Amino acid sequence: MPSPIVKPRFEAFHKQAGRCYYCGSLMWLNDQEGFARKHSISISDAAKFKCTAEHLVARCDGGGNDRSNIVAACLFCNNTRHRMKNAPAPNKYKEHIQSRINKGKWHPKSLQHLVSFPA
């Protein structure tokens, strides 16, 4: 049995044209190596852009795995949010990331082309 999160994650990935809900970077679902090759980045850098499912309402707050509550986010944004002491609400976190990106302070320079890559 696949985990119940697989399908909504897949749907969110495509609904968002393969881009992270927070930073707008391209992500990958299955092909880390191909993604690294295509964008001329290292395999370990590509790991940051693995597509993960983010719950807009956390499971502990009663959020479910239905598609209205799931967005696709890159592993880097997802991990960084969960490492924060008081994880901000998704829309606040998105604002925070967008302002960091505008200052060039989110992904390292070598990875910024993934954010600006044309759709």
Q: Name the residues that contact Zn ion, by CB under 5 A.
A: 20, 22-23, 74, 77
Distance of CA 104 to the CA centre of its chain: 17
Cβ distance to Zn ion smaller for residue 22 or 35: 22
Query: In the chain, count of helices (H) and strands (E)?
Result: 6, 2
Q: What's the closest the beta carbon of residue 23 comes to Zn ion, in angstroms?
A: 3
Question: How far, in Å, CA of 97 to CA of 61, rounded?
Answer: 23
The secondary structure of residue 87, as a DSSP letter, is: P
Cβ distance to Zn ion smaller for residue 62 or 99: 99
Cβ distance to Zn ion smaller for residue 69 or 114: 114
Q: What's the closest the beta carbon of residue 94 comes to Zn ion, in angstroms?
A: 10
Question: How far, in Å, CA of 46 to CA of 40, rounded?
Answer: 10
Q: What's the closest the beta carbon of residue 38 comes to Zn ion, in angstroms?
A: 17
Q: What's the closest the beta carbon of residue 109 comes to Zn ion, in angstroms?
A: 16
DSSP string, 8-27: HHHHHHHHTTTB-TTT--B-
Residue 59 in tokens:
């499971």
Cβ distance to Zn ion smaller for residue 52 or 69: 52
